[in-house]
Structure 1
Amino acid sequence: MISLWNSSLQEKASDLHDDTWSIEMDGTIEENRPARDWHQYISGSFAQFKCSLCKKGWGSKRVNVLFHFHLNRSNQGTIKVRRFKQKCRRCNEAKWEDPNFSVENIDVLVERLVRNIRKKCYREDLGETNRSSVFEGKINGPHETAHCEACQKGICSQVN
């Protein structure tokens, strides 16, 4: 799964001033707590989930992704990614499940991230554009804060 994120990054960051960027999943990074000299970016997208207990699947149109990124003096860029999880609403002992993003939505998230990197690390003025994520399937019901890890952490912008 990291390979999809990495290949999208390599394609979209190929012209970033001859610098090399790498991406890694890190479920421990926290909002508003990037390490010194690091930047933060939060974006949302559509993703699918599947309960590991009852195998029920669901889609969510507001799945938050937290990025921390840094460009060091050796022209090596590092990106840490935290994908916020959700719980099944049917299961009493539900576990936090990882989101599954389509290739198209990974591309949209990485494209937005690279624009943010250009602004923060390279001080480029890019104007405003906002490519939308792709919705797949049917979305039923309200956003449930009790089952959203981003809501529990206080960073979800979706209101019930």
Structure 2
Amino acid sequence: MAGISSGNIWIDTFYSLQKKDLEEIYRKRWILQFSYSLEDNLTEEQKKKGWKISQTTKFACFTCSKCSHFWNSSRVSLIFHYSLGKTKTGTVLLRPFGQMCRQCDYDNFINPKFKEENVKVILENLILKIRKNCYREKIDSDIQDRKYPKIRTKPHEKDLCEDCIEGVCNKDNDVL
């Protein structure tokens, strides 16, 4: 994948970051995959297999595919499940949560779009958590908050928010 783009900003950015921050140091490659069925908890079996969770809420934008209405939201939740595993590859699963359009009757969740610099900060923070939780590195727990402060804007429309509907909105936490 060196020099070749997958066409997905998340996968390309993660590959680049994990290469220097994980693979070159620990000799284990990590991959990122999307999984739109992830939940905000782990089963006992997943925990026994070493899976961990990181959840964050960040800024993103949306464009309705039906009416082209555009909006921003500072409350877009992302859930990551990650595991070092016993193979030569560590795995990260990502679920970004969507929102519905309030301008039209389109009742499907629209996927968020993140700026490249925001994706990089989100993934840098995730890699710090991987280093801390999978490789037992001593990481300053306040480092993520200094890099990306939380900003709250307009009132949140809970009835249009996928993560509110599923009961996971606006949580920033790790579940081990």
Specify the alignment match of 2:97 in structure 1: 84
1:71 to 78, 84, 99: 84
**Per-residue deviation at 1:5?**
1.3
Aligned position for 2:60: 47
| Structure 1 residue 95: Cα displacement | 1.6
Aligned counterparts of 1:118 and 1:155: Cα–Cα separation in 2: 25
Change (3 A) 1:81 1:49: same
The runs of at least 4 aligned residues of structure 1 exceeding 3 Å deviation read none
Aligned to 1:20: 29
Deviates more, 1:63-72 or 1:84-93: 84-93
Query: Please, which runs of 5 or more residues in structure 2 have no aligned partner?
Result: 1-5, 172-176
Query: How many residues are aligned here?
Result: 155
Amino acid at match of 1:145: K
CA displacement 1:59-91 (0-9 Å, x = unmatched): 001111000011122231011100000001122
Please report how far the alpha carbon of residue 156 of structure 1 lies from its aligned counterpart in structure 2 after TM superposition: 0.9
Distance in 2, matches of 1:13 and 1:45, equals: 21
**Code of the aligned partner of 1:20:** R
> Given that residues 52 and 95 in structure 1 are in contact (C-alpha distance below 8 angstroms), is that contact kept between their aligned partners in structure 2?
no
Which runs of 5 or more structure 1 residues have no equivalent in the other structure? none
What amino acid is aligned across from residue 115 of structure 1 in structure 2?
Answer: L
Match of 2:143 in 1: 129
Q: 2:38 aligns with which of 15, 23, 29?
A: 29
Instruction: Tell me whether 113-122 or 149-158 shows the greater mean CA deviation.
Output: 149-158
What is the CA–CA distance in structure 1 between the aligned matches of 2:91 and 2:162, rounded to whole Å?
Answer: 24
Q: Does 1:11 align with 2:16?
A: yes
**Distance verdict in 2 for CA 1:56–1:133, change over 3 Å:** farther
Deviation of 1:37 after TM superposition, in Å, equals: 2.2
Report the 3-state secondary structure (helix = DSSP H, G, I; strand = E; otherwise coil) of the residue aligned with 1:156. Answer: coil
Identity between Structure 1 and Structure 2 (%): 32
TM-score, scaled to structure 1: 0.87
Once residues 150 and 7 of structure 2 are traced to their aligned partners in structure 1, the CA distance between those partners, rounded to angstroms, is 20
Q: Which amino acid aligns with 2:18?
A: A
Match of residue 148 from structure 1? 161
TM-score by structure 2 length?
Answer: 0.80
CA RMSD of aligned residues (A): 2.2
Q: 1:118 to 1:2 in 2, by over 3 A?
A: farther
Displacement, 1:10? 2.3
